[in-house]
């Protein structure tokens, strides 16, 4: 039983705020492309397809590199990988302010920013999972909500900078943000070295109830159903919500909703995700990660068929809010699920692997949603496609083992995440 007087210690609050700020800045890496399209198009006369290709490069590299950065964070410490990610983000954005050719754009924003994304998203969440034992769900939810706030705050600020100062100075300002945030990252690394021995013994349980195969190495872990259930549910639920995220606004416009009102649907999804991250974390601390994730995915899946019945704008807003709640909840829960079932030792590489599956799901859902629409002329089949994969994700989560049926972890027999 925990005898804490406060929910978190001052040091833990500082870590939550720090990760919140990191994820706020990092979220802009994922959503900055649209803001810079028009300025780049106007100055260089590049095609929309050429500019958008940088985003594809960014996503592909960021997705697959997440496995490597996750393993490196397990081996060398998440803080060190985060520091590299922050510096690389700053360098890529600063170099982007100097670009003059499309190939420079691909290298700076596609390749370098993609690598920095993989060195930030996965290690940041791995760092939270390895740091917190008490109220880990709440800590993950609060820190993760920084991503939503970053989109709501940073995006309009950068839009203002581009209008009044130009796109090159805007890239320099963004680079400065990452360089400044590198300073507390370095301080945490130095502080953790001094306190390494004491922090490992404070309040952390001596052993965890985790999957027995988690102590064996990745080759053994990948032979078990639990690994594929988690990977499959993450991929399927991303297929489900990516269809809605990408195609809800055009569906609303085709249904007669004015463009400005239709655009607010994305804002409602974002607001729902912001709330969902925190709420799902609180629920997971009470009933466990498996069932909190199940509730989150239910929120995003069950409302989807309502889109088949020509809903009015109010109903669309309601659907968007529930999809957002599920989207935010799933973002909080998968790092916690990874830690709950596999322990601290391999949370980096495993969460990186699951995140790669999620990114592939996002790419699949957004692409096939549009392809199905082009083939059929309506979004009805695309939304049924979304609902089907949402239902698959729920079934796969239901297959997760119950935590209270697991045995205490055996002593680790390997040093590094990739050892068989």
Asked if residue 166 is part of any domain, the answer here is yes
Tell which residue, 165, 171, 146, has the closest CA to residue 32: 171
Q: Find the CATH number of the domain harbouring 57.
A: 1.20.1250.20
- Let me know: does 228 contact 353? Beta carbons within 8 Å: no
Q: Are residues 22 and 133 in the same domain?
A: yes
Residue 43's CB is within 10 A of a number of other CB atoms, namely 12
**Average pLDDT for 179-199:** 68
Min mean pLDDT across 48-57, 220-229, 281-290 is at 48-57
Residue 190 has pLDDT above 70, yes or no: no
DSSP secondary structure of 81-96: HHHHHHHHHHHHHHHH
Q: Are residues 350 and 265 in the same domain?
A: yes
Q: Are residues 224 and 194 in the same domain?
A: no
| pTM over the 0.85 mark | no
- Structural domain count of the chain: 2
Asked if residue 3 is part of any domain, the answer here is no
Domain boundary pick from 199, 222, 240:
199
Torsion, CA 253, CA 258, CA 260, CA 266, rounded to 10: -40
- DSSP state for residue 6 in the 8-state scheme: S
Give residue 399's pLDDT: 92
Asked if residue 339 is part of any domain, the answer here is yes
Give residue 24's pLDDT: 83
Q: Are residues 128 and 268 in the same domain?
A: no
Q: Are residues 247 and 395 in the same domain?
A: yes
Asked if residue 207 is part of any domain, the answer here is no
Residue 367 has pLDDT above 60, yes or no: yes
Tokens describing residue 224: 């078990």
Residue linked to tokens 């609902």: 387
Distance CA 76, CA 126 (A): 12
Q: Are residues 174 and 250 in the same domain?
A: no
Give residue 265's pLDDT: 86
Domain boundary pick from 175, 199, 223:
199
- Let me know: does 52 contact 107? Beta carbons within 8 Å: no
Q: Are residues 250 and 166 in the same domain?
A: no
Q: Are residues 164 and 304 in the same domain?
A: no
Min mean pLDDT across 145-149, 195-199, 277-281, 299-303 is at 195-199
Q: Are residues 161 and 195 in the same domain?
A: yes
Q: Are residues 190 and 218 in the same domain?
A: no
Q: Are residues 163 and 306 in the same domain?
A: no
Asked if residue 177 is part of any domain, the answer here is yes
Q: Are residues 246 and 381 in the same domain?
A: yes
DSSP secondary structure of 187-238: HHHHHHHHTHHHHTTSS--S--B--GGGGT-HHHHTTSHHHHHHHHHHHHHH
Residue 237 has pLDDT above 90, yes or no: yes
- Let me know: does 397 contact 293? Beta carbons within 8 Å: yes
| Enclosing domain of residue 92 | 10-199
Asked if residue 416 is part of any domain, the answer here is no
Q: Which residues contact 59 (CB under 8 A, 6 or more apart)?
A: 114, 359, 362, 363
Domain boundary pick from 199, 226, 246:
199
Asked if residue 121 is part of any domain, the answer here is yes
Asked if residue 204 is part of any domain, the answer here is no
């Amino acid at each position: 039983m925990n005898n804490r007087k406060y929910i978190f210690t001052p040091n833990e609050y500082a870590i939550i705020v720090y990760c919140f700020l990191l994820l706020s800045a990092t979220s802009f890496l994922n959503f900055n492309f649209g803001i810079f399209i028009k300025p780049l198009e106007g100055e260089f006369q590049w095609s929309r397809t050429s500019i958008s290709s940088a985003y594809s490069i960014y996503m592909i590299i960021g997705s697959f590199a997440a496995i490597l950065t996750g393993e490196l964070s397990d081996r060398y410490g998440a803080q060190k990988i985060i520091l590299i990610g922050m510096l690389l983000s700053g360098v890529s954005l600063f170099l982007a302010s100097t670009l003059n050719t499309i190939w420079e754009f691909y290298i700076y924003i596609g390749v370098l920013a993609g690598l920095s994304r993989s060195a930030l998203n996965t290690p940041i969440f791995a760092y939270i999972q390895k740091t917190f034992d008490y109220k880990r769900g709440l800590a993950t939810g609060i820190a993760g909500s920084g991503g939503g706030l970053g989109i709501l705050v940073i995006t309009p600020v950068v839009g203002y900078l581009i209008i009044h100062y130009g796109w090159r100075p805007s890239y320099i300002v963004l680079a400065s943000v990452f360089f400044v945030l590198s300073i507390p990252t370095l301080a945490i690394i130095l502080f953790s070295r001094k306190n390494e021995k004491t922090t490992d013994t404070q309040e952390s349980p001596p052993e965890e109830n985790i999957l027995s195969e988690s102590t064996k190495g990745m080759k053994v872990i990948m032979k078990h159903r639990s690994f594929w259930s988690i990977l499959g549910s993450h991929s399927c639920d991303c297929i489900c919500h990516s269809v809605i995220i990408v195609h809800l606004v055009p569906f609303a416009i085709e249904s007669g909703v004015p463009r400005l009102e239709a655009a607010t649907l994305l804002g409602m999804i974002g607001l729902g995700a912001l709330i969902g991250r925190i709420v799902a974390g609180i629920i997971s601390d009470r009933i466990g990660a498996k069932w909190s994730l199940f509730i989150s995915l239910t929120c995003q899946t069950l409302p989807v068929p309502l889109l088949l019945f020509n809903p009015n704008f109010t109903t669309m807003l309601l659907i968007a809010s529930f999809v957002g709640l599920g989207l935010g909840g799933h973002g909080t829960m998968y790092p916690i699920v990874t830690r709950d079932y596999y322990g601290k030792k391999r949370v980096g590489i495993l969460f990186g692997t699951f995140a790669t599956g999620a990114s592939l799901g996002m790419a699949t859902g957004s692409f096939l949603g549009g392809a199905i629409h082009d083939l059929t002329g309506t979004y009805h089949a695309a939304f049924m496609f979304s609902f089907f994969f949402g239902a698959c994700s729920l079934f796969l989560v239901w297959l997760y083992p119950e935590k209270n049926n697991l045995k205490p972890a055996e002593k680790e027999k390997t040093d590094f995440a990739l050892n068989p």
